[in-house]
Chain A
């Protein structure tokens, strides 16, 4: 949406009809106090009001016009209208008539809010309110019109972030699915499914003791979880309460430089403490196993194992040698019997003897020995006695002759080599342990010292804050105590919420585990299914909760990126840091500036503060553009009243480069004597108008007052 022109008639100081052709970029209306800047803003605000409240307010009528009315005479009208471009040219006009009746009483009548839009080549009259709501709905208007500098902080209200997310993020209406307050659908479904599950389990005949126990345990954990969640909420609220109190005091403190120094010191000390604590590695019990510390006394045991294994192996070898000796003798006999080994050349072996008997010839004496002869009989007898002598000793091949059937000695030797390999490590363990303990103790002492210094610095800060809170000597002490207490309460709340978060996670894990177990053992199909359905709905509910949170985070990220793009462009005071949007409980958020060295800027000057808010507004404007596929004008009334002249000029120069239609009413560009600072104006990009009162007016008489609008610079 781009506003092409605005027409104002008889609206308070705007006597008569004033039509202003606007530029699609920056439009500046320069006016001094009382010249009609706010009236210009109010006239647009009135036009954009689509509520159905009484709109014919007599106070809106130009007093000068009223003075010209005659009793019973013609009616005059108040009207504000605008022509704008939004998917084609459109026009809206809000107006009412006023007149004096025969008795001289002021009457108003004929209130109208009309619109016109083009259909093809035709121009059609439509309801103005509906047309405006369609093109420029209330949720967007809220982020387009700003009166004064202090109204720029759109995060100043509760639920602001939630509202923005609901209005502008990719996904909205999460509340329908999940609220976190048992109001969303998935929470409703989990509750009902739980009831259904409990009934099903109760009805299942075969409910075992174990299932009953699990259900009792689940009930107990659920109760604990509810109470932890309640406590967590309390802790969050407490934290936010005291955080806000302290942040407010900090932002009002005069001694901002001192405060920044102390905050820097605290931040630095905290970082060093955290880094020190990170280095502490005192999970000693786990190290007993993971780092083998538990084996620190193993040396004598390993020695014993080594002795025993070696003794065993020696003993085995001894037995084997003995066995081998025995075996060697047997082998020889066996081989002799098999005719493998030659006998003494003078003693024929079995084969030669058998051959000699068969050939009836004695090879030993070289004579024939016919069957039946003495030499023949001698040979037969000799063979027989040889056979006899070996027959008893020939080992039987079928019989097992091995002494050892197992070979565990090899395995034990292997294990010995293995544990020997660890010996060096084991011998070094005592040193490793005492070294580690010493180092951890040193780190703990160091962290403790850091904490002490942090406490001191916080103390110093509290004193400083109380001194600078514009209070009397007597109040000083109470104030100091308050601030110390608030700091303590905030820290307590912070600790307890961290603890509760952990506790909540533990309980949730436990609950899931018990439920899985229950799902696993429920024998009865009906109750088993009921358990599964309940479990599934719980997972779904958690997934919606996760999605809601992620969506908010995505939105904050997007908004932050856009806002920082603008902050860079505005570049007030050569500030090179960034804006951070910090999410708080209950849909609220807070903006903070962080310097490029990472320190939080606690006390930015007003110009920087204003550019911070402006950047966020421009960013929101970007998001509306993305969301509605249309751009919207931004209208400000005196946003820079606290700026110095130089800053102001830079600021407007920057704004004219951001490529958005801006309408700004301001005192800037006026010299001390109320005349225009022309060189500055010439320097400015955009259209510039001068608002001024008619020179002949009498400020005491409202009926003489009339604002004129004079274009000063129309060439862009």
Chain B
């Protein structure tokens, strides 16, 4: 009989990987808005940060890239860093932090990556290309979308350092990106 590769689903293989980013974004963005690099034992409120784990900042950056339909290759000459937290743990928050878990976001990121990359699914199905290589392609694409997002945020911070510290700072970005074609019907300035 034929030997079928049934060990791991593509999603599981992908979720076991970790994202990475250009190290300079740690100080420029990630640590500013998340608890990355400060441990995860305390609640977010105690530190007054917008987000919990550093990967949350990555998710934000990724969706900025995705909705802008723009990727940016990571600079080969720069240091890269991983979060130390594989995708499968993203958004598995426990209740003591007062946060909710969000497993659907992982699935949607995966779906988006499949949709947005040129993977020859037939070749994959035939076993002509390795699942591991496909996953690498997906991860690369994800990092590139996020990389675009990080540069976008860095620019935003440079233009107006306070804008992201407002409650609606990040939300405004997404409303902008997803409602471009419609006129703004709601002003989100904080009172």
Contacts and interface: CB of A to CB of B under 8 A. Distances in A.
**Is there direct touching of A and B in the complex, by C-beta distance under 8 Å?**
yes
B39 A517 contact: yes
Interface in A342-398: none
Interface string A273-297: 0000000001111111111111111
A433 interface: yes
22 contacts: A284-B167, A285-B167, A288-B170, A288-B174, A289-B105, A294-B105, A294-B174, A295-B105, A297-B66, A305-B111, A308-B115, A319-B122, A404-B127, A408-B10, A412-B114, A419-B104, A434-B185, A444-B191, A506-B46, A506-B48, A513-B38, A516-B39
A698 to B, nearest CB: 79
A481 to B, nearest CB: 30
B100 A290 contact: yes
Interface of A: 282-298, 301-302, 304-305, 308-309, 312, 315-316, 319, 400-409, 411-412, 415-416, 418-419, 422, 430, 433-434, 437-438, 441, 444-445, 448, 505-506, 509-510, 513, 516-517
Contacts of A422: 104, 108
- 6 interchain residue pairs of minimum CB distance: A297-B178, A405-B127, A305-B115, A284-B171, A304-B115, A444-B191
Main secondary structure of the interface of B (DSSP, over half): helix
Interface in B131-172: 131, 167-171
A556 to B, nearest CB: 28
A282 B170 CA distance: 12
Main secondary structure of the interface of A (DSSP, over half): helix
Contacts of A444: 190-191
Contacts of A401: 2
Contacts of A291: 100
B111 A407 contact: no
Contacts of A441: 191
A124 to B, nearest CB: 65
A437 B105 contact: no
Contacts of B171: 284-285, 287-288, 293, 433, 437
B6 interface: yes
B102 interface: yes
Given A312-B122, A422-B108, A509-B47, 9 more contacts: A285-B170, A289-B91, A293-B171, A294-B63, A297-B67, A302-B115, A308-B121, A402-B2, A408-B10
Contact of B114 (A290, A292, A297, A308): A308
B60 to A, nearest CB: 7
A289 B51 CA distance: 9
Contacts of A506: 46-48
Nearest to A299: B178
B19 interface: no
A405 B112 contact: no
Interface string B100-136: 1010110110111011100001101111000100000
Contacts of A509: 42, 46-47
Interface in B52-66: 56, 59-60, 63, 66
A232 B67 CA distance: 47
Candidate in B41, B104, B125 with the most chain A CB atoms within 10 angstroms: B125
Contact of A284 (B46, B121, B170): B170
Interface string B73-92: 00000000000000000010
Given A290-B99, A402-B2, A301 B66 contact: yes
A401 B70 CA distance: 42
Contacts of B111: 301-302, 305, 415-416, 419
B57 to A, nearest CB: 10
A295 B46 CA distance: 28
B22 to A, nearest CB: 22
A471 B174 CA distance: 61
A506 B175 CA distance: 33
Nearest to A400: B2
B56 A289 contact: yes
A302 B126 CA distance: 25
